[in-house]
A and B are shown apart, each in its own frame.
Chain A
Amino acid sequence: MALNDPVEPEVEMERDFVRPFLATAGRTRSSLSDLRIETLVEATAKLEDGLRFEAARVAKLCREPNSVAEISAKLKIPLGAVKVIVGDLVGSNHVRTHKTIEGETPEDMQLISRLIAGVRKL
């Protein structure tokens, strides 16, 4: 819920960009607060026609899975704005988001083992 948490009184992070996801479809999975900087975003098969400029660029980049942070860095869009755009694109079914491994479920254990094996091989 980081985005909805009260920020320190004197500091507002990109408040202008942060608005509730409700504007589109209100599906819980795609709420902005689930979107982490490492969350991979991937385009669906839906065409990008009709999307406004920045949203179209994001959707296009995400034909290959890219994290929220990568979208921000590669397209030079501030993080907060990327989250809003991705939230909208999830709502309009142009992209979907993938799970992150946070070490909390039993299936995470297997994934972590694969991460370890991978790092060992580096």
Chain B
Amino acid sequence: MTDRVVKKNPVSAKFVVAGGFGVGKTTFVGTISEIDPLRTEAKMTSASLGVDDTSKVATKTTTTVAMDFGRITIDDDLVLYLFGTPGQERFSFMWNDLVNGALGAVVLVDSRRLADCFYAVDYFESRKIPFVVAVNEFDGMVAHEIDAVAKALQVGPDVHVISCDARSRDSVKNVLLDLFEVILERMMAANAAAVTA
């Protein structure tokens, strides 16, 4: 075998694409990824202890949770990954492992099923992870719906709520660039605070 020469120190970053069941997360990731979204699985064992106290036997069921992700190779030493969260809320316990270290997040919203995204919005807000809300254009979106969504979500004025079509590359690109803007603003604010402190 030939010796492998280690040349560069590649670094990677991660965005998370969250939102309710069937809102277009996989589509969003697939639209911009250079590879067909890959699927990774985590096995989860739920022990239903206490369900049947008399038997004192824990019944274990193993569920497989799948998430898909895409990759954007920026350079030979710089990679951006996009991870779609599992859509169903009952898998939300997986989010910590998925979201830890994320540079930012996109919350995809279907305006007809607004409540489906509350969990994601709360999650990123409480953990101070930069995020944007992207309203997926299922029936063709009109501008005033965006305002209505922003109002209904009760997010602060600093949270960007934008429209997007998860099937369009340009649209997905815009969402990502918007998210980067939020991230930079956040970092600069943090720097400024550090200087004045």
Which of chain A's residues has its CB closest to B104's CB?
Answer: A103
CA A22 – CA B180 in complex, angstroms?
38
Instruction: Answer whether residue A99 sits at the interface, using C-beta atoms and an 8 A cutoff.
Output: yes
Instruction: Answer whether residue A54 sits at the interface, using C-beta atoms and an 8 A cutoff.
Output: no
Q: Which of B1-31 contact A (CB under 8 A)?
A: 1, 3-6, 9-14
* Least CB distance, A2 to chain B, in whole angstroms: 5
Instruction: Answer whether residue A3 sits at the interface, using C-beta atoms and an 8 A cutoff.
Output: yes
Q: Which of B143-163 contact A (CB under 8 A)?
A: none
Interface range for B? 35 or more
- State whether B97 touches A2 (Cβ < 8 A): yes
Chain A residues with CB below 8 A from B47, complex form: 10, 12
- State whether B9 touches A67 (Cβ < 8 A): no
Instruction: Answer whether residue B32 sits at the interface, using C-beta atoms and an 8 A cutoff.
Output: yes
Take A78-B41, A122-B32 as given contacts and tell me if A116 and B180 are in contact as well, using a CB distance cutoff of 8 Å.
yes
Chain B residues with CB below 8 A from A39, complex form: 12
Chain A residues with CB below 8 A from B180, complex form: 112, 115-116, 119
- State whether B100 touches A2 (Cβ < 8 A): yes
CA A42 – CA B9 in complex, angstroms?
9
Which of chain A's residues has its CB closest to B90's CB?
Answer: A11
What 1/0 flags go to A45-73 for Cβ under 8 Å of B?
10100000000000000010101011011
A contact residues vs B (CB 8 Å cutoff)? 2-3, 5, 7-8, 10-16, 36-40, 42-45, 47, 63, 65, 67, 69-70, 72-74, 76, 78-80, 98-103, 106, 108-109, 111-112, 114-120, 122
13 contacts between A and B (CB under 8 A): A11-B44, A11-B46, A14-B43, A36-B101, A38-B79, A72-B40, A74-B38, A79-B40, A100-B101, A101-B103, A102-B102, A112-B180, A119-B176
